[in-house]
Chains A and B, each alone.
Chain A
């Protein structure tokens, strides 16, 4: 079962604005970029050529792992607005 199939089991109420952001000038200097592999929903993807971080915030599971893993303390992390984001039926 791949990640897309896992995420497809979930219900989300997508917010119009992202609750996650990074400063890409800082990401450029980050060698490991742990956010790009430790996120359980693979929200972060780094484009090496364009030096752009794509943030698929709509897939976020709101766990908070990315901000703790970020060595540069470069992830601005807040909760989605009330009623938005992931909605677990089982938990």
Chain B
């Protein structure tokens, strides 16, 4: 690197940064990827799965060489009450169409950065970028702990807390309702036990979402997925809810682990890692300005998470790629001003990223309003229903149906219940 000068500096070697680096390197641009950790991925945590199709657009056929844990062939939803549960899932047989893989981030992120290095990107680990260098009101590079690096463009991919986007006023502090804290444990289980419990084959994996139980009546969602020899189990919860209910995150995680349904999966397991991370969940309404003169913002730093569909790493990779493509155009035009870099937002708008976030711009508010229904009432009704269906005793069935119906109507209100009531009326009340 001549005089510490490259064409593009990328801060943060997560999915967004690595994807930007490899895209730039493939186009022959001089790129420096800096990360504060010893190794890429050392600081990174997520819910457990990466999406195959979008990942393969950057790393073709990655599953052949990348350190993936299992190919997800079943996705399940667990609805928990205090002690019971109803579970349902979608199992797909064809391995030919990979949908998602479970990975361990420390292995995965490192592999992605290695691919970028193979294409010619410089990687600087253990390099904390303290601030952006500003000259004459323009970003000209970065100040690390020990030296200055200069570039035509800086891509900020420093994650959810993005201190750099804040430094230049692209982002404000996130509001506590727009960010979730995720806590997780990786629990080691002998491979055979794990496969038996999830009913999966050798290479196959299962990804589960968990509603209710200890997580009822709060903006929280649990997750559980299978690695080769371990289960990743955790949940995310909105920070305002943690504050409101005086929740200690690690205690709530223990309650989740102790729920009878969950306990049966992790029985005899040994926790090999506890971790925690923030998820920007504000969606479309919280997207900051993602470009300025000589600067682009990608991944969690730009709040690109679709929490309705559990998408984050894929959006990070996509935004990193689009940021890099914009940077390539700007460098080729020798104009790195905002008037060219604004094309980045146009690219995002034309992609699924902004389209999907826009679709769900208000969904989270609706969920918030109905959180009791979703996490408490529905799991209860689902369990009641199966209990009604499967228990044989001295109570007449008609009395049971009436009880179930009256609970449903009382809790959901008459309007929401009408279609269901009509269907059930005949069996319940017709003599």
Contact = CB atoms under 8 A, between A and B. Distances in A.
B276 A40 contact: yes
Nearest to B39: A87
Contacts of B273: 9-10, 88-90
B239 A68 contact: yes
Interface residues of B, number: 52
Interface string A1-37: 1010111011001000000000000000000101001
A10 B242 CA distance: 24
Interface stretch (B20-28, B70-78, B173-181, B382-390): B173-181
Interface string A36-64: 01111110000000000000000001111
A40 B104 CA distance: 21
Contact of A61 (B126, B271, B275): B275
Nearest to A39: B249
B268 to A, nearest CB: 14
B243 A34 contact: yes
A16 B144 CA distance: 18
B36 A79 contact: yes
A37 B45 contact: no
A11 to B, nearest CB: 9
A62 B43 contact: yes
Contact of B43 (A3, A40, A86): A86
A32 to B, nearest CB: 7
A85 B105 CA distance: 17
B230 interface: yes
A28 to B, nearest CB: 19
B239 A65 contact: yes
B127 interface: yes
* A interface SS class: loop
Contact of B239 (A6, A13, A69, A89): A69
Contact of B271 (A1, A42, A64): A1
Contacts of B145: 81-82
B128 A91 contact: no
A78 interface: yes
B272 A68 contact: no
Nearest to A19: B128
A85 B43 CA distance: 9
B328 interface: no
A87 B243 contact: no
Most buried by A among B42, B105, B232, B278: B42
A83 B249 contact: no
A88 B105 contact: yes
B243 A38 contact: yes
B246 A37 contact: yes
Q: Which of A6, A13, A68, A77 has the most CB of B within 10 A?
A: A68
A75 B173 CA distance: 12
21 contacts: A1-B254, A5-B271, A6-B271, A9-B272, A34-B242, A37-B246, A40-B181, A40-B183, A61-B275, A65-B278, A69-B176, A77-B161, A82-B126, A83-B36, A83-B125, A86-B43, A88-B273, A90-B273, A90-B275, A91-B41, A91-B275
Given A1-B257, A91-B275, 18 more contacts: A6-B185, A6-B250, A10-B275, A34-B242, A38-B247, A61-B275, A65-B239, A65-B276, A68-B176, A68-B278, A69-B176, A79-B128, A82-B37, A82-B128, A82-B144, A83-B126, A85-B43, A91-B106
